[in-house]
Structure 1
Amino acid sequence: MSQITVISGPERRRVWTDQQKRELVAAVSAPGANVAEIARRADLRPNQIYRWRGQLGQAAQSFAEVQVQPDPAPVSGSSIIVEFERAIVRIPASASPGLVSAVLRSIKP
C-alpha cells in the first residue's frame, strides 16, 4: 500500500497583471531600492522581478538620463569625439574612464 499526502492551503502560483509587474519593476529602479526587500514585501523571489524587468524591456532604465541637442555646444579644452550614424558623442578629457566606458557601451550602432 502506498501513502498519499494531500497538501491543503493557498496555492502558491499567482497570476500578476502587467500593471503589478510594471509597478514592482519601477520600484526596484528607484535610487537606493533594495530588490530583496521589495520582493519580500510582494512575497516573491528577487529573480522574478529581474525576469519581469527583462520581459518588459526596462533593463536599460538603470542608465543615467541623456539629453540630446540638435547642435551641441563645443566642449572647451581637449575632448574625445565619437561619431555614429545618428549621433555625435563629445566626451571631455576630464571624464572618468568608467563614465566613458559606460556611455560608449550604452550606445547601440
Structure 2
Amino acid sequence: MDVINDDAKAAGFRRIEVLTGPGRRRRWSDAEKARIVAETLRGGATVTEVARRWALCPQQIWGWRRQAREGHLALIQDEHVPAFVPIVPAAPLAETDERRAVSVGQAAQRTRSAPCLEIRLAGAVLRVPVETDGTLLTEVLRAIRASAA
C-alpha cells in the first residue's frame, strides 16, 4: 500500500518524467535512408549500433535494408571503395548456337561502331554502350530486377 507523506506535499516536491528522443514522427529522405543503410553494411558495424546512433528502432533499418535489396532504395556508394563487377568468360556455344551467334554478331557489328557491355540479369540480356549514363543504367537494371521478382 502506498503512503503519501503530507510533509512532501507541503515542501513542494513533485515527481516529473523526462521524455527523451524525437517528439514527433520524423520523415527520412531517400538519401538519409541510403546513408544509414550504407553505415550498416560497412565491416564491423551492426544494425543495433547504427540505430542507436541515429535514434531509430532497429526494425526500421531492417525495413530500409529490405527496400534496398529489392531495388526500391538506391544505396550511396562510398567514393573510396571501388565497385567492380566480375567479367566471366562465356561458356562454349553449341554448333547451332555458334552459327546463330556469329550471324547476330556480324549484324550487330555492322550497325554499331562503339564497344558495348553485355549484361545478363534475371533472364534478360542488356547490351549497353560504354558511354551510357550511370544513373540511367542503374534505373534500367533496377527495373529488370524488379520485373523478375
TM range (shorter): 0.3 to 0.5
Q: What is the TM-score normalised by the length of structure 1?
A: 0.46
More helix by share: 2
**Which has the higher relative contact order, 1 or 2, with Cα contacts under 8 A spaced 6 or more apart?**
2
